[in-house]
């Protein structure tokens, strides 16, 4: 059985490959259309900073936001600190979160939560503990824009604090996307 965060990580790292493999074999239906006008490169770090991560996850981190042509969004503590690592990414997808969710193939026993995120079309959080590490992944949809937050927190961890932190992060990302009208300019997702 595939771990839910590994599924999410694979989806985030190789979104084009993951989406290219879906949809045209008749089993899952045709791929939904993306908007005709794709927004400029998006960086979730535009809505986040080290102070935000400290407030919501209790971690003193260094931000790595990549470059303008290769955006990245990672917040890493000192290697030996035992604090959580937070990473955010995005992709565009023309379908609903439910459709994307089915393609990822979540395990039946995953602790899946559906928080209400203001300004978002949909959101989900997956929580699990594997080998004494907490993994929390959150997804937030605003139009065609899907932003993903991954948190890895070694023991001893505070599961509910990290879930609250991911919820706050999803909220900040949705607010930023809504302010920029990201993913909504051309059309609404199909569903």
- For 88, the token pair is 């955010």
Beta bridge partners of 146: 91, 141
- Whether 175 has a pLDDT exceeding 60, the answer reads yes
Cβ(174)–Cβ(118) under 8 Å? yes
How confident is the model over 149-163, as pLDDT tens digits?
A: 999 999 999 999 999
- Whether 2 has a pLDDT exceeding 50, the answer reads no
Q: Who contacts 16 (Cβ-Cβ below 8 Å, separation ≥6)?
A: none
Place of tokens 């981190």: 61
- Whether 88 has a pLDDT exceeding 80, the answer reads yes
pLDDT: which is higher, 172 or 78: 172
Per-residue confidence (pLDDT) for residue 83, from 0 to 100: 94
Note the pTM of the prediction, 2 decimals. 0.75
What number of residues does the chain have?
Answer: 191
Residue ranges of domains in the chain, CATH in brackets: 4-180 (3.40.1000)
How confident is the model over 10-64, as pLDDT tens digits?
A: 333 333 223 223 333 444 444 444 444 444 568 899 999 999 999 999 999 999 9
Q: DSSP character for 118?
A: T
Per-residue confidence (pLDDT) for residue 183, from 0 to 100: 66
Cβ(120)–Cβ(174) under 8 Å? yes
- For 61, the token pair is 């981190």
How confident is the model over 60-86, as pLDDT tens digits?
A: 999 999 888 888 899 999 777 889 999
Per-residue confidence (pLDDT) for residue 17, from 0 to 100: 26
Please state the rounded mean pLDDT for residues 80-101: 89
Q: Who contacts 137 (Cβ-Cβ below 8 Å, separation ≥6)?
A: 4, 5, 8, 125, 126, 148, 149, 150, 151, 166
- For 36, the token pair is 């005709």
């Amino acid at each position: 059985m595939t771990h839910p965060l590994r599924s999410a990580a694979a989806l985030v790292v190789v979104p084009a490959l993951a989406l290219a493999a879906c949809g045209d074999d008749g089993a899952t239906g045709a791929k939904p259309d993306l908007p005709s006008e794709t927004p400029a490169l998006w960086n979730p770090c535009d809505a986040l900073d080290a102070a935000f991560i400290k407030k919501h996850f209790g971690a003193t981190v260094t931000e790595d936001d990549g470059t303008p042509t290769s955006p990245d969004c990672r917040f890493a503590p000192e290697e030996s600190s035992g604090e959580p690592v937070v990473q955010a990414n995005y992709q565009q997808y023309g379908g609903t979160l439910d459709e994307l969710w089915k393609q990822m193939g979540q395990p039946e026993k995953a602790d899946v939560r559906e928080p209400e995120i203001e300004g978002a079309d949909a959101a989900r959080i997956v929580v699990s503990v594997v080998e004494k590490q907490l993994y929390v992944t959150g997804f937030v949809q605003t139009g065609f824009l899907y932003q993903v937050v991954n948190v890895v927190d070694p023991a001893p961890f505070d599961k509910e604090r990290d879930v609250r932190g991911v919820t706050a992060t999803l909220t900040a990302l949705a607010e930023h996307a809504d302010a920029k009208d990201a993913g909504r300019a051309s059309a609404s997702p199909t569903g």
